[in-house]
Structure 1
Amino acid sequence: MSDRTPSLFEWAGGDEAFQRLTEVFYGHVRKDPVLAPVFAHMDDAHPRYVAMFLAEVLGGPERYSAERGGHDHMARMHLGRHITEEQRRRWVSLLTDSADEVGLPADPEFRAVFSYYIEWGTRMALVYSADDPPPTAGPMPKWDWGQTPPWQPGG
């Protein structure tokens, strides 16, 4: 038995949990009147890419960085999309509901950090989707129990 605290990724259930989460979530997105138009031309692999991104941010394998280009690539995907606050809130709400639906851990510690990242990440998506976004280059954010990365404008 190890005394090591599992990562958020491990606690959530690993790759399988994040794949389930994003498949269910984007199934709901496709039917949602607020978000469906935003994702109307979504690549069939999009849920898998988002699962890889979430997994990496929460302590899992660095596959998104290796295969997709990391934070810079994700940020650039939002450039010029003019995401609205209503869309951001709906994204958060549907993802949270999907986390419940697929059985992600419901303990307060995990859900607090998970929710904190989702809130932070969607607000960053708003920043990057604006007419004058900051530079997209920067390290992949990493979140852990009780530890979140500081946001550095332009960095």
Structure 2
Amino acid sequence: MADTVPTLYDWCGGTDALHRLTEVFYDRVLADPLLEPVFRHMSPDHRDHVARWLGEVFGGPTDYTDELGGYPAMLRHHIGVGITEEQRSRWAALIALSADDAGLPDDPEFRSAFVAYVEWGTRLARANSAPGATPPPDAPTPRWGWGEAPPYTG
């Protein structure tokens, strides 16, 4: 069965879907008074980089690791930022809303896996961004899957 279950990357629509997601999401972020100050100086490539990170995490191409430095590079973007719980929570809520607007699948199995990764990843980013945090510098890029409930294709 494992050979017939699509990755989260394939299920959501791949690169195009994740780029739509990051476009919609970062438009929301820049309009949000809590998050805009954190992201106001993001590079023009930031949206693409996040789409590539999510693609790799969800089982797609390893572009983020191969071309952008993988987990160590992602970690460097968070060290010392001091993300608050309120900012983390808002980020998670906005990306979930953005998934709807970007047309990502809305089946419960996909959304459960998507939200589980967002919760895990944002909580890790908050912890890694805390003053004095010393996270492991060379962990692998995570690969996220379906968890307990693969998609129903019957």
The equivalent residue for 1:146 is 147
TM-score by length of 2: 0.91
Q: Is the 8 A contact 1:76 1:128 kept in 2?
A: no
Q: May I ask how many residue pairs the two structures share in their alignment?
A: 145
Whole-angstrom distance in 1 between the partners of 2:89 and 2:110: 20
The equivalent residue for 1:137 is 138
Matches within 5 A, 1:1-155: 4-133=4-133, 134-146=135-147
TM-superposed CA distance for 1:40, in Å, is 1.0
Which aligned runs of 4 or more in structure 1 are off by greater than 4 angstroms?
none
Whole-angstrom distance in 1 between the partners of 2:108 and 2:91: 21
Whole-angstrom distance in 1 between the partners of 2:36 and 2:137: 26
Residue ranges of structure 2 left out of the alignment (5+ in a row): 149-154
TM-superposed CA distance for 1:75, in Å, is 1.1
Whole-angstrom distance in 2 between the partners of 1:28 and 1:69: 27
TM-score by length of 1: 0.91
Residue-by-residue CA offset, 1:72-122 (whole Å, 9 max, x unaligned): 110111000000001001100110000011111111111001100000000
Say what the alpha-carbon RMSD is for the aligned residues.
Answer: 1.0
TM-superposed CA distance for 1:136, in Å, is 2.5
